[in-house]
Amino acid sequence: MNFCSHCGFAVSLKVPAGEILPRFVCDRCGTIHYQNPKLVVGCVPEHEGRILLCKRAIAPRLGYWTVPAGYMENGETLQQAAARECQEEALASVDIGSLLTVVHVTHAHQVHVFFRATMRTPAYGAGVESLEAILVRPEEIPWPDLAFPSTEFTLRRYLDDQSSGLELHHFVEFDRRLT
Amino acid sequence: MNFCSHCGFAVSLKVPAGEILPRFVCDRCGTIHYQNPKLVVGCVPEHEGRILLCKRAIAPRLGYWTVPAGYMENGETLQQAAARECQEEALASVDIGSLLTVVHVTHAHQVHVFFRATMRTPAYGAGVESLEAILVRPEEIPWPDLAFPSTEFTLRRYLDDQSSGLELHHFVEFDRRLT
């Protein structure tokens, strides 16, 4: 951030009065520009024991596999965001179920939230951000070719809980600054 | 948003190529400025059956009561954010427990997340953003003077679950655009 999005003047990184952390503050109009983590929301879509995966057509991790997920938009709920992303990336209509995982991707300033989901029909396909979509049995999941640690964590917790007959939710932090 | 925070030129609201929603796009450098919901994180701090509340010293809802909560910062987890806000607003050190509520405040472009929490000691006080902090029995909660719908929803679910001996989590949407 170099310029104030309100008035167009230069910003400086400084600690505003009464605050603790440095923020980008406009040198002319004084607007404080807070920067906060973004929500990435997705689901594990299931149909008759199979799971819907997408091969990414965009960076980062182009060509690797994920479950449908993306940035939450203003004006929607987490569940609506998860269903919308599934429609966009995998052309599949789902009913969003229980909360599955919350992944703190601290270095990326992101919180990833995943839900269980059920496909309303067996229809699916590759959306514009996907090269391919596949409906796979658990033993067919391409573990070495998953796109993100949050994808693997989410799929493993999904299968663990399915084995134990539970629908738990799981928190984890992946902080590349620590490794 | 009027100006590009990257190059300082004017932005226009337009639908970028390959996208569906209008975004603020820089007319010179082409940077797309996405706007996404912000996370507000808090907890219900408990000590020997009493709950810690803060009276807000800042707008909005100055003078009304809340549980400690505030905007999540980059580089922290939801649980760390909840504990930090409790320290800042109520000068209380807590252990964050289970997920309690997720409140979609759709019109405000916010997602509020609240956890159960246990005070490590009975120490508390008013932080700089609070006029007063109080440790109250459930029957002393000032229901008509709570600051936000998310505060009331969270405290009611907390007490309901306590009565039934469960630690569930609850989703809800408050959308002032619909009322």
pLDDT tens per residue, range A115-172: 999 999 999 999 999 999 999 999 999 999 999 999 999 999 999 999 999 999 999 9
Which residue among B10, B39, B71 places its CB closest to the CB of A111? B39
Residues A75, B109: C-beta atoms closer than 8 Å: yes
Do A109 and A168 fall into the same domain?
yes
Domain ranges, residue A19: 1-35
pLDDT band at B177 (very low <50, low <70, confident <90, very high): confident
Residue A177, pLDDT > 80, answer no
Structure confidence at residue A179 (pLDDT): 64
B chain contacts of residue A39, beta-carbon cutoff 8 Å: 36-37, 39, 111
According to DSSP, the β-strands at B170-174 and B94-105 are: parallel
Chain B residue closest to A4 (CA)? B5
CATH number at residue B111: 3.90.79.10
Who among B2, B76, B107 is closest to A5 (CB)? B2
If asked whether residues B47 and B58 sit together in one domain, one would say yes
Indicate the residue of B9, B36, B128 with minimum beta-carbon distance to A18. Answer: B128
The string of pLDDT tens digits covering residues B34-93 is 999 999 999 999 999 999 999 999 999 999 999 999 999 999 999 999 999 999 999 999
Cβ burial B73-93 (10 Å sphere, 16+ → b, else e): beebbbbbbbbbbbebbbbbe
Please indicate, yes or no, whether residues B16 and B89 belong to a single structural domain of this protein.
Answer: no
- The whole-angstrom separation of Cα A154 and Cα A46 is 13
Whether A18 and A88 map to the same domain: the answer is: no
> What is the length of chain A?
179
Per-residue pLDDT tens digits for A76-109 = 999 999 999 999 999 999 999 999 999 999 999 9
Which tens digits make up the pLDDT trace of A39-54? 999 999 999 999 999 9
Task: Give the pLDDT confidence score for residue B5 in this predicted structure.
Answer: 96
Domains: count for chain A: 2
- What local confidence, expressed as pLDDT, does residue B176 receive? 86
Domain co-membership, B22 together with B54: no
**Same domain for A94 and A30:** no
* From B5, B38, B77, residue closest to A36, measured CB to CB: B38
Q: Do A148 and A65 form a contact (C-beta atoms < 8 A)?
A: no
Q: Do B4 and A3 touch (CB under 8 A)?
A: yes
pLDDT for A178: 67
Tell me which residues of chain B have a C-beta less than 8 Å from any C-beta of chain A. 1-11, 18, 21, 33-39, 71-79, 99, 102, 104, 106-107, 109, 111, 128, 169, 171, 173
- How confident is the model at residue A19, as a pLDDT? 85
Probe site for chain A from B1, B3, B31, B80 (most A CB atoms < 10 A): B3
Are B106 and B19 found together in one domain? no
Q: Is residue B21 within 8 Å of B33, Cβ to Cβ?
A: no
* One domain, residues A69 and A17: no
Q: Can you give the pLDDT at residue B179?
A: 63
pLDDT of res. B19: 85
Contact B36 A33 (CB under 8 A): no
Residues of A in contact with B74 (CB under 8 A): 35-37, 109
B143 and B174 inside one domain: yes
Tell me which of B28, B29, B32, B73 to substitute to probe the interface with A (most A C-beta atoms closer than 10 Å): B73
User: Do A70 and A101 sit in the same domain of this protein?
Assistant: yes
pLDDT above 70 covers what percent of chain B? 99
Predicted TM-score of the model (pTM): 0.96
Q: For chain A, give percent helix, strand, coil, nearest 5.
A: 25, 40, 40
Question: With contacts defined as CB-CB under 8 Å, which chain A residues touch B5?
Answer: 1-5, 11, 33
The answer to whether the CB of B145 falls within 8 A of the CB of B132 is no
| Residue A57 and residue A8 share a domain | no
List the single residue in B8, B106, B173 with the smallest CB-CB distance to A3.
B8
Measured torsion, CA atoms of residues A79, A85, A90, A96, in degrees rounded to the nearest 10: 0
pLDDT at A20: 86
Amino acid A25: pLDDT: 96
Q: Is A106 exposed, middle or buried (0-12, 13-18, 19+ CB in 10 A)?
A: buried
Does residue A89 share a domain with residue A10?
A: no
pLDDT at residue B178 is higher than 70:
no
